[in-house]
Amino acid sequence: MQHEHTSPAPSDAATLRGRRVVLVVAVLASFVAFLDGSIVTVALPAIARELGTGTGGGATADDGAGLALQQWVVDAYLLTLGSLMLVAGSLSDTFGRVRVLRAGLIGFAVTSVLAALAPDPGLLIAARALQGVTAALLVPSSLALITSTFSGPAQGKAIGSWTAWTGVAFLIGPLTGGALVDTLGWRWVFAVVVVPVVLTLVLMTRLPGDAHRGRDGAPPRVDVVGAVLAAVGLAGPVFALIEGQRVGFGTWFVVTPLVVGLAALAAFVWWERRSPAPMMPLTLFRTRTFTVGNLATVGIYAALSLGTLTIPLVVQELAGLTATLAGLVTLPTTIVSLLFSTLFGTLAATHGPRPFMTAGPLITASGFLWMLMVADPIDVWWQVVPGVVLFGFGLSVTVAPLTSTVLSQIPAGQSGIASAVNNAISRVAGLVAVAFLGVIAGGALTVGGFHRVVIVVAVLLGVSALVSFVGLRDRTRAS
């Protein structure tokens, strides 16, 4: 009897290779945006020392001007990223993921070089805002590539891999940034992201192009009014929160942008309900898992943005560590995330996300509560690092199931805008949380101020766990 050897058909092998390329491109594209958002955190004290006075340095996180500059370097990026990501999601669904992704990568490389060369605070903040504009094109398009290529359990595993590696970018950034600050200088923190951009563009030559996909054959439309209202609505309150610490919350200089911004946000919701081509289709929120996942996203990413910004500042400004050592403090989180994120993404796709999205934020909160032990003199390796390990494990349990849950019941044709909405919500949550840093810490980062930040972070995570536990059904599958 002759046994016939079977092997995958050539077309199947080609499909498998194509999927691998899609996953690698998606990971690298998001890696760039997440890396830039995190690598800058350990460079903030050096930036404040050199540019804080506008004439050569002198400012630190201990004075109002230095803290305000540090907040703006972070929030200028998050502001444009969060407010324009919804438009980018619409562009991705309309013009094609590959085309939008390529444009975003090229623009991101150019604006990163501008940030590296900025001679004063104003131009640095402007370059950071432009970086956010181009980064907005990256994340929704990359995730939409995955959701339109993979399905079923394979999609859960692919999203887990995407989450793990993009999360690693978010967490490895401080270590890389610290080494660059201590050796070559803080400007290289911005310049270095050009390397993964070029690598991604080269890999993208292996992807097929995509065509314009206007709705129902009509010419593609972009919700310009919605984009303007969203940008003004976010910029006004953020400006008021940051500058209010410096000049006082009762001045017209602060009150006016706050009122204008809140009015613009109300107008944004009104417009999106009536626009023929909304940048944020409110019908998406009729899906239970999408709504619950985004509510959980608000607390989780507000907490993470506030916590991951504050830890490098504390270990440098209060504990006296170098930028490299400050980055090393976050390394355990990177290792834990690499080990477990894909696993929990796969488990959530099989067993449902509810237990993971409930337990994960609570584990993360326990890691931050550990840091309440911080006291003068600060023992970083006992009072901070064990908390960072717990934080990393909780993050691994949470993020991949959260991402899969949000997109699990969204039609493929809306995956780009749905991904954009979720990512925009996470960035806006981080944006507002960072803007509140001065208010929570009391205008300067002290040990007592850090304790207040830690408590706020833990409360936000606890609320997110409660939302997931109550809002998700036991048998809700992530993919």
* Residue that has been written with the tokens 């990163």 in this structure: 112
**More reliable by pLDDT, 377 or 247:** 377
Q: What is the pLDDT of residue 366?
A: 94
**More reliable by pLDDT, 110 or 141:** 110
Neighbours of 273 (CB within 10 A): 11
Burial bucket for residue 454 (CB in 10 Å: 0-12, 13-18, 19+): buried
Q: What is the mean pLDDT of residues 100-104?
A: 87
- Distance between CA atoms of 310 and 313, rounded to whole angstroms? 5
Q: What is the pLDDT of residue 214?
A: 45
Residue 431 has pLDDT above 50, yes or no: yes
Residue 411 has pLDDT above 90, yes or no: no
- Distance between CA atoms of 370 and 387, rounded to whole angstroms? 5
Torsion-angle region of 96 (φ positive above 0: left; ψ -120 to 50: alpha; else: beta): left
Q: What is the mean pLDDT of residues 9-36?
A: 72
Res. 211 pLDDT band, cuts 50 70 90: very low
For the record, the structure tokens of 122 come out as 């104003």
Q: What is the pLDDT of residue 7?
A: 45
- Distance between CA atoms of 457 and 33, rounded to whole angstroms? 23
Residue 6 has pLDDT above 60, yes or no: no
User: Whole-model pTM?
Assistant: 0.72
Asked whether 199 and 28 are in contact (CB, 8 A), the reply is yes
Asked whether 468 and 292 are in contact (CB, 8 A), the reply is yes
Map the chain to HEC letters: CCCCCCCCCHHHHHHHHHHHHHHHHHHHHHHHHHHHHHHCHHHHHHHHHHHCCCCCCCCCCCCHHHHHHHHHHHHHHHHHHHHHHHHHHHHHHHHCHHHHHHHHHHHHHHHHHHHHHCCCHHHHHHHHHHHHHHHCCCHHHHHHHHHHHCCHHHHHHHHHHHHHHHHHHHHHHHHHHHHHHHHCCCHHHHHCCHHHHHHHHHHHCCCCCCCCCCHHHCCCCCCHHHHHHHHHHHHHHHHHHHHHHHHCCCCHHHHHHHHHHHHHHHHHHHHHHHCCCCCCCHHHHHCHHHHHHHHHHHHHHHHHHHHHHHHHHHHHHHCCCCHHHHHHHCHHHHHHHHHHHHHHHHHHHHHCCHHHHHHHHHHHHHHHHHHHHCCCCCCHHHHCHHHHHHHHHHHHHHHHHHHHHHHCCCCHHHHHHHHHHHHHHHHHHHHHHHHCHHHHHCCCCCHHHHHHHHHHHHHHHHHHHHHHHHHCCCCCCCC
- Of 447, 290, 323, nearest to 379 (Cα)? 447
The dihedral over CA atoms of 163, 198, 334, 427, expressed in degrees to the nearest 10, equals -50
Average pLDDT over the chain, rounded to whole? Answer: 80
pLDDT tens column, 265-282: 999 989 988 888 787 788
* Residue that has been written with the tokens 């969060």 in this structure: 82
Asked whether 108 and 135 are in contact (CB, 8 A), the reply is yes
pLDDT tens column, 116-159: 999 988 899 999 999 988 888 887 777 777 777 776 677 667 77
Torsion-angle region of 57 (φ positive above 0: left; ψ -120 to 50: alpha; else: beta): left
Q: Which domains does the chain have, with CATH numbers?
A: 19-206+277-471 (1.20.1250.20), 224-276 (no CATH)
Q: What is the pLDDT of residue 370?
A: 95
Res. 418 pLDDT band, cuts 50 70 90: confident
* Residue that has been written with the tokens 């990568």 in this structure: 105
pLDDT tens column, 227-262: 788 888 888 887 887 777 777 777 888 899 889 989
Res. 329 pLDDT band, cuts 50 70 90: confident
Q: What is the pLDDT of residue 259?
A: 93
Asked whether 245 and 67 are in contact (CB, 8 A), the reply is yes
- Distance between CA atoms of 316 and 321, rounded to whole angstroms? 5
Q: What is the pLDDT of residue 215?
A: 45
Q: What is the pLDDT of residue 167?
A: 63
- Distance between CA atoms of 126 and 264, rounded to whole angstroms? 22
pLDDT tens column, 60-96: 445 555 677 888 888 888 888 877 777 776 677 677 7
